[in-house]
Copies of this chain bind each other. A is one copy, B any other.
């Protein structure tokens, strides 16, 4: 309902110029962020904090995978042992490791299959998705709902990510297709200063570290 209204409003802006298009996009991201549950995001931070000495494995495909990689880089910089699905090296997981799986639809098969394997060995799963009732939502131990993914009824869900690309079946391009990823990008980046704070890392610490090396 909300989206139908926004899409209508947004369509009017599109084609005029990038400024209007980007501020329309920002408003939607802002609305999505305000819909994120405080509890869910706090639990997510606690889980990350509790895995200081364990592996964190970020899973996602396509643009969600790229947003996941951007977050993974930050976790690496915070001192975590972090891995990403789809890189050359995929580690084996075990109990007590943490998986953060990102899929707007919650049904990207590449991600679901990897999550199932991780669950099989007892890893804890955080599912970041627009659909708590999706396969990912059901597999996840904890859900971080981020709105934004609209799934066209014509799309064959549950298809493998690469298969969809080969078939030319892309998620809606714009304006709403990117909303999930953009919201995740901002939300995950906003977690970093909180994590730094809780881990007692400061820019000063990092500066001192640099000094040692130079």
* Residue ranges of A at the interface with B (Cβ–Cβ < 8 Å): 14-15, 17-19, 21-26, 29-30, 33-34, 36, 38, 41-42, 45, 57, 62-63, 66-67, 69-70, 72-74, 76-78, 82-93, 109-110, 113-114, 116-118, 120-121, 152, 154-156, 159-160, 162-170, 172-175, 178, 181-182, 185-187, 189-194, 196-198, 201, 203, 206-207, 209-211, 213-214
Contacts and interface: CB of A to CB of B under 8 A. Distances in A.
A187 B18 contact: yes
Nearest to A94: B168
Count the copies: 4
Contacts of A33: 19, 22-23, 26
Contacts of A109: 113
B174 A182 contact: no
A165 B82 contact: no
Nearest to A97: B166
Nearest to A152: B207
A162 B114 CA distance: 6
Contacts of A169: 210, 213
B82 A69 contact: no
A163 B66 CA distance: 20
14 contacts: A14-B196, A18-B38, A21-B190, A21-B191, A21-B194, A25-B190, A66-B66, A73-B88, A78-B173, A109-B113, A155-B210, A168-B213, A174-B193, A175-B193
A163 B109 CA distance: 12
